[in-house]
């Protein structure tokens, strides 16, 4: 009897959604064209590069963003402001246990927990859980999602994810070898 009641409730709510023209939909991101641009800062300058997505999708209720889940391929991390040996050395160091420990933690994830409209079509305030190196932190950021493209800029503190190398928060007397804890992510999703 309980199964029959649950089945009828599901059918009724589904029928009402279709009757109201509300069609919840999940749209997969295009992993070939979606990208994360990262930028990290140190006393003597900065470095930047890209990271690709392994998979991901955004949830919509008609044209309104309602959720999302993204899996970042940490093995794809590269540096775009260096060339040759310096590029390879930095990429290897960022993938090592000093930073992101990619061998043990090949993926990072972002799971939306709350999406609120900012009052303008296609603009949102998002609360999400981001997991890096098996450490999950709640983050909040603004995003846009319209015409098949979503964009967001996020500032993270690497020390929240136990990334201590060269950090003035953990080590004294680093001088010009100090690497700042905060880094920027500019995310572009095509769906």
What pLDDT was estimated at residue 79?
Answer: 98
The set of residues, in sequence order, having a beta carbon less than 8 Å from that of 7 and lying 6+ positions away, is none
Residue 23's pLDDT band, with cuts at 50, 70 and 90, is low
- Tokens 């296609």 belong to 122
Radius of gyration (C-alpha) of the chain in whole angstroms: 20
**Bridge partners, residue 59, by sequence:** 26, 67
Query: 19: left (phi > 0), else alpha (psi -120 to 50), else beta?
Result: alpha
Task: Give per-residue pLDDT as tens, 43-99.
Answer: 999 999 999 999 999 999 999 999 999 999 999 999 999 999 999 999 999 999 999
CA 112 to mean position of chain CA atoms: 9
Task: Give per-residue pLDDT as tens, 151-176.
Answer: 999 999 999 999 999 998 888 988 88
Q: Whole-prediction pTM value?
A: 0.85
Question: Quick one: average pLDDT of 177-190?
Answer: 97
Q: Which fold has domain 23-190?
A: Lipocalin (2.40.128)
What pLDDT was estimated at residue 9?
Answer: 38
Task: Tell me which DSSP letter residue 8 carries.
Answer: H
């Amino acid at each position: 009897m309980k199964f029959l009641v649950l089945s009828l409730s599901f059918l009724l709510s589904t029928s009402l959604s279709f009757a109201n023209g509300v069609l919840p939909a999940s749209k997969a991101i295009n992993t070939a064209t979606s990208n994360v641009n990262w930028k990290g800062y140190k006393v003597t300058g900065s470095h930047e590069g890209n990271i690709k997505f392994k998979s991901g999708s955004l949830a919509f209720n008609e044209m309104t963003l309602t959720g999302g889940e993204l899996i970042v391929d940490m093995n794809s991390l590269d540096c775009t402001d260096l060339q040759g040996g310096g590029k390879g050395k930095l990429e290897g160091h960022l993938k090592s246990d000093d930073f992101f420990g990619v061998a043990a933690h090949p993926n990072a994830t972002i799971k939306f927990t709350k999406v609120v409209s900012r009052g303008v079509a296609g603009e949102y305030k998002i609360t999400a859980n981001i997991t890096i190196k098996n450490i999950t932190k709640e983050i909040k950021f603004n995003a846009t999602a319209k015409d098949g493209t979503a964009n967001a800029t996020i500032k993270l503190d690497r020390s929240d994810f136990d990334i201590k190398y060269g950090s003035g928060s953990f080590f004294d007397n680093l001088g010009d070898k100090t690497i700042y804890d905060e880094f920027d992510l500019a995310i572009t999703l095509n769906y």
